[in-house]
Amino acid sequence: MLVTTVAIMAVVAFGVVGWRALRGGDEVDGSAAGTWSEIAFVDRSSGEILVLDDSGEPTRTMPGQGAVTDAYALGDRLALVGPTTVAVAGGDEIEPIAIGRTNTVTPIRTPGTLHLVIGTASGGNVTILDVATGDVLDIGALAEQADPRLFAETIRWSSDGSRFAVADAGFFRTIVVESDAEEPGYFGAQPLALDDDLIATSQVIALQADVALVDRERKNKALVPTEIPAGAVMVDHDLLMVATTGSVYRIADGDTEAERLGEVAVPSGATVSWVGPTLDGSRLVVVGSVFQAVIDLDGETLFTTTFASPIEIDTPRPDWTCLPIGGEGTFHSIVDLDTGEQVADLSGVDVIGASGDGCTVIGTRGGLGEVISADGTVDIGPVRSAVLAPDGRAVVRTTATGAIELVRIEEDLTLGEPIDLSDVASNNAIVAFLD
pLDDT, tens digit, 9 for 90 and up, residues 335-391:
999 999 999 999 999 999 999 999 999 999 988 999 999 999 999 999 999 999 999
pLDDT of residue 21: 36
Give the number of other CB atoms < 10 A from CB of residue 104: 16
Under DSSP, the state recorded for 195 is: -
According to the model, what pLDDT value does residue 178 have?
94
Q: Are strands 85-89 and 49-53 parallel, antiparallel or unpaired?
A: unpaired
Number of C-beta neighbours around residue 231 at 10 A: 24
HSE at residue 376, side-chain half, CA atoms within 13 A, is 9
Cα three-residue angle 89-94-96, rounded to 5 degrees: 85
| Tens digit of each residue's pLDDT (9 = 90 or more) over 107-119 | 999 989 999 999 9
pLDDT at position 367: 84
The pLDDT value recorded for residue 425 is 92
Per-residue pLDDT at 94 exceeds 70: yes
Q: Looking at the predicted structure, is the pLDDT value of residue 14 above 70?
A: no
CA-CA distance, 11 to 9, in Å (whole number)? 5
pLDDT of 37 reads 96
pLDDT value at 324 more than 50? yes
How many CB atoms lie under 10 A from the CB of residue 259?
Answer: 13
The ranges assigned to domains in the chain are 320-435
The answer to whether residues 82 and 98 touch, using CB atoms and an 8 Å cutoff, is: no
- Encode pLDDT of 222-250 as tens digits: 999 999 999 999 999 999 999 999 999 99
Least confident of 18-22, 131-135, 252-256, 376-380: 18-22
Q: What is the DSSP string of 305-320?
A: EE-SS---PPPPPTT-
Count Cβ neighbours within 10 Å for each residue of 55-68 and write b for 16 or more, e otherwise. Answer: ebeeeeebebbebb
Is the pTM higher than 0.85?
Answer: yes
- Residue 247, number of CB atoms within 10 A of its CB: 21
